[in-house]
A = this chain, B = another copy of it.
Amino acid sequence: MARTVGSSGPKTAEAIRAAGIRLIYEHGFEAMSLRQLAAEVGLQPGSLYKYFDTKQDLLFDIVREHLEDLLAKIADALDGIVDPVARLAAFAAFHLRYHMTLKSNVYIANMELRSLEPDNRAIIVAMRKRYEAILIDILREGQAAGALHAAEPRVAAFAILAMLTGICNWYRADGPMTQDELVTLHVDLVLGGVGAKRQAVHKAG
């Protein structure tokens, strides 16, 4: 039984994470049992503890890794872009593309905040705030430069994030619009919303 550990340890850990994401997405965190999770990856329930100490740790790990990834990738996406309107367009395009591909992780990160224990929750909330602050700063800079209207950048940022994240609810890779078309449509909604003019900004990625 213990043979799954050892050289295949990291692979097993990854399989457990993936199965955990799937089960939490389908049933909710509280309803997911460790027995169910173990069965999903072909382990005995007792063996799961070689990979994580508690169910709570697994949830925390899934949500934290999602946010670490998001924070690293947004930094890349904005790297080298100076103009606030161009940064806003790049932020919106990045957020949208990211949320078209990682739907269940995002869903869990948003929905199961309620299931995180207070200390874990505080860490995750702080990471979310770091991400939100990037958009708030862009709006603030744009407002200061007279390039857009965002008298309340914090609230505008929340509204924009909700709009862009909403794509998780209905996006299908085989839908009638391409990812590029959806990005253009949403970036136009965002820029128009704050009264900014779209510029010739194209960044690979």
Q: Interface of A with B (CB < 8 Å)?
A: 26-31, 110-111, 114, 149, 151-152, 155-156, 158-167, 169-170, 177, 181-182, 185-186, 188-190, 192-195
Contacts and interface: CB of A to CB of B under 8 A. Distances in A.
A151 to B, nearest CB: 8
Nearest to A29: B28
Copies in the complex: 2
29 contacts: A26-B114, A27-B28, A28-B31, A30-B30, A31-B31, A110-B169, A111-B111, A152-B177, A152-B185, A155-B177, A155-B182, A158-B167, A158-B170, A159-B163, A159-B166, A159-B185, A159-B186, A160-B189, A162-B162, A162-B163, A162-B166, A162-B167, A162-B169, A165-B166, A188-B193, A189-B193, A190-B193, A192-B192, A192-B195
A139 to B, nearest CB: 11
A108 to B, nearest CB: 11
